[in-house]
A and B are shown apart, each in its own frame.
Chain A
């Protein structure tokens, strides 16, 4: 993937990924990933199961050091920064893990309160107020005293979201947000993500293979391929659906039925201005 040089310090650009290559020992996960996430975007990292989406997310959230390449946040290269700077950057992240990843020994309220206790000097009463607010934002105000094992999977995800939002993050990362949820809950979660992006003004990065979510909320995306182990397309999901020439991308975006490609394209979605680049999978 050839990238034109990106101005990493532009105020409009939030995250810049440059030639990122990730491997576990000798086992290559993904190579040469380059993309830019604009401020306020809902950016989708999509691809089939096992293509390394979640590992890429681990590299973006500071959990897995990439083998080469750089990731810039607001113009600062994360993996070249010193630990204190990395910590400062990570403080601005909110991450919702696939399983919710709530700390099992703490109640929901304590889960949401922990980041606040760690990073702010707020008095306990103020923290309690904030915790109630965050939990009510995700519709769990009656469950403050419950332990993660006592609530359903969907509720755990929402509680995880409340915790991810605890510090009013600039970037929200989601790992398969709708996995394991029924269609209605998944839709509600999508709506919630949109709502939060608009109200918090956060940038959202989502790893998913859920087509409904991809079309509903994604306004930019990259497609990772498991065979060539790199990105083979990027652009607005609907644009990709309409214009991509890569059979793998079309197959994915149409659930393996390329003939149903030109469905329900509405003018406003088609007018999405984002650039489209497809390509060098061959």
Chain B
């Protein structure tokens, strides 16, 4: 006899006697083919009065896989729930064993996620308490860092000098190419934008003042800060987060070595030393970018541009810029280290920590810029 694989899978119901219903399974029951719906069969079972037993006939079954099992599991579960006896003798041996296995696995009570969605008030409360606990945690961390910094100045903090130099190299020298490119281009953009307006009044020469003051006082520090947030802050968070996952931080703690002193302090020192230097360098590159536009597009003379820049810049502008840079350095290091140290113990937690470090740093940089700008205005600097 030839089996036609094109024959569809069928489930037919037949009443054997008063209290027994037989489900006859025919054809190939494969996941990939169209299968009868368990719902339909169950509906028929439910609508049959006086039923006490359900049995199976699988003589016509040619092939089967998980498709059949899923169908049967659904039927068995529903029938058991409505106190119907299921007789599995008519099923192939393998199917029977798998069905028993599927129903035998004891589910740990409470292991399945609850599907109850908490009410609006509960969710608001959760968010507030989480935020409260989070800020408490952040302040605790800042406190720890402050204590460690105090120990640094009294010469009692312990970390490896080699670590500090490595981080200085990573966060300083190795950041030069990207800082050059970005600040040069920011200088060019600034000059272009200014030139369009200033040319109308024949005041092209003031492009030098615009670029000089803009870069030195604010933009160089902000751009460098953002570059460092993406480059170094993210790397701090990922590095410390991975150390948390590998229990390296636990190992430090059991040895009685403070992870804040050993890991956070060198990173903070390195970044707050390097940021002002990088800012100074970015100032120079930005002015160079402006000069390129001035000389090549606006037909200004090198010396003229240089003299105008010197004339319009005050030393205070430089101090404000460098101070901002140092503040941003501390912020980026703090955010990176905080997120890294508070990282969970999984790969996805490291990813979240990294993202969160960058976002926190950038928000911090912008807020700090606003505060510094307003403060300088009030102080008349």
B61 interfacial contact with A, CB 8 Å: no
**Residues from chain B with Cβ under 8 Å of A95 in the complex:** 250-251, 254
* Closest chain B residue, CB of each to CB of A96: B251
Question: By DSSP majority rule, is chain B's interface helix, strand, loop, or mixed?
Answer: helix
**Residues from chain A with Cβ under 8 Å of B251 in the complex:** 95, 97, 101-103, 163
* In the complex with contacts A63-B254, A105-B163, A118-B158 CB distance below 8 A: yes
Contact at B248–A90, with CB atoms within 8 Å? no
B303 interfacial contact with A, CB 8 Å: no
**Residues from chain B with Cβ under 8 Å of A63 in the complex:** 250, 253-254
**Residues from chain A with Cβ under 8 Å of B246 in the complex:** 99, 101, 104
CB distance from B290 to the nearest CB of A (A): 41
CA distance A62 to B252 in the complex (A): 12
Question: By DSSP majority rule, is chain A's interface helix, strand, loop, or mixed?
Answer: loop
CB distance from B151 to the nearest CB of A (A): 14
* Closest chain B residue, CB of each to CB of A106: B160
B2 interfacial contact with A, CB 8 Å: no
Contact at A87–B163, with CB atoms within 8 Å? no
A98 interfacial contact with B, CB 8 Å: yes
Instruction: Kindly identify, within residues 36 to 76 of chain A, every residue whose CB is under 8 Å from any CB belonging to chain B.
Output: 58, 61-63
Interface residues of B toward A: which range? Answer: 10 to 19
B243 interfacial contact with A, CB 8 Å: yes
* Closest chain A residue, CB of each to CB of B158: A118
CA distance A97 to B255 in the complex (A): 13
B257 interfacial contact with A, CB 8 Å: yes
CB distance from A115 to the nearest CB of B (A): 5
Contact at A103–B256, with CB atoms within 8 Å? no
CA distance A58 to B251 in the complex (A): 11
* Closest chain B residue, CB of each to CB of A167: B255
Contact at A115–B255, with CB atoms within 8 Å? yes
CB distance from A13 to the nearest CB of B (A): 22
CA distance A87 to B258 in the complex (A): 11
B100 interfacial contact with A, CB 8 Å: no
- B247's partner among A62, A97, A105, A114 (CB-CB below 8 A) is A97
Contact with B along A157-181 (1 / 0, CB 8 A): 0000001000000000000000000
A187 interfacial contact with B, CB 8 Å: no
- A101's partner among B158, B166, B247, B256 (CB-CB below 8 A) is B247
**Residues from chain B with Cβ under 8 Å of A90 in the complex:** 254-256
* In the complex with contacts A99-B246, A103-B248, A93-B254 CB distance below 8 A: yes
- B256's partner among A58, A87, A105 (CB-CB below 8 A) is A87
CB distance from A18 to the nearest CB of B (A): 21
**Residues from chain B with Cβ under 8 Å of A114 in the complex:** 255, 257
CA distance A216 to B166 in the complex (A): 46
Instruction: Kindly identify, within residues 61 to 77 of chain B, every residue whose CB is under 8 Å from any CB belonging to chain A.
Output: none
* Closest chain A residue, CB of each to CB of B133: A25
- B255's partner among A104, A105, A118 (CB-CB below 8 A) is A118
* Closest chain B residue, CB of each to CB of A88: B256
CA distance A256 to B266 in the complex (A): 52
Contact with A along B246-288 (1 / 0, CB 8 A): 1110111111110000000000000000000000000000000
A229 interfacial contact with B, CB 8 Å: no
A261 interfacial contact with B, CB 8 Å: no
CB distance from B302 to the nearest CB of A (A): 47
Instruction: Kindly identify, within residues 19 to 49 of chain A, every residue whose CB is under 8 Å from any CB belonging to chain B.
Output: none
CA distance A163 to B246 in the complex (A): 15
**Residues from chain B with Cβ under 8 Å of A248 in the complex:** none
CA distance A163 to B158 in the complex (A): 19
Contact at B247–A61, with CB atoms within 8 Å? no
**Residues from chain B with Cβ under 8 Å of A102 in the complex:** 248, 251
**Residues from chain B with Cβ under 8 Å of A101 in the complex:** 246-248, 250-251
**Residues from chain A with Cβ under 8 Å of B247 in the complex:** 97-99, 101
Instruction: Kindly identify, within residues 79 to 113 of chain A, every residue whose CB is under 8 Å from any CB belonging to chain B.
Output: 87, 90-91, 93, 95, 97-99, 101-105
CB distance from B249 to the nearest CB of A (A): 9
CA distance A103 to B251 in the complex (A): 8
**Residues from chain A with Cβ under 8 Å of B255 in the complex:** 90-91, 114-115, 118-119
Contact at A61–B163, with CB atoms within 8 Å? no
CA distance A91 to B255 in the complex (A): 6
Contact at B254–A62, with CB atoms within 8 Å? yes
CA distance A105 to B166 in the complex (A): 10
CB distance from A146 to the nearest CB of B (A): 17
CB distance from A193 to the nearest CB of B (A): 18
22 contacts between A and B (CB under 8 A): A61-B254, A62-B253, A63-B253, A87-B256, A90-B254, A90-B256, A91-B256, A93-B254, A97-B251, A98-B247, A99-B246, A101-B246, A102-B248, A103-B243, A104-B248, A105-B166, A114-B257, A115-B255, A118-B255, A118-B256, A118-B257, A119-B256
Sorted nearest first, the 4 A-B pairs with minimum C-beta distance are: A101-B247, A101-B251, A97-B247, A87-B256
A residues neighboring B (CB under 8 Å)? 58, 61-63, 87, 90-91, 93, 95, 97-99, 101-105, 114-115, 118-119, 163
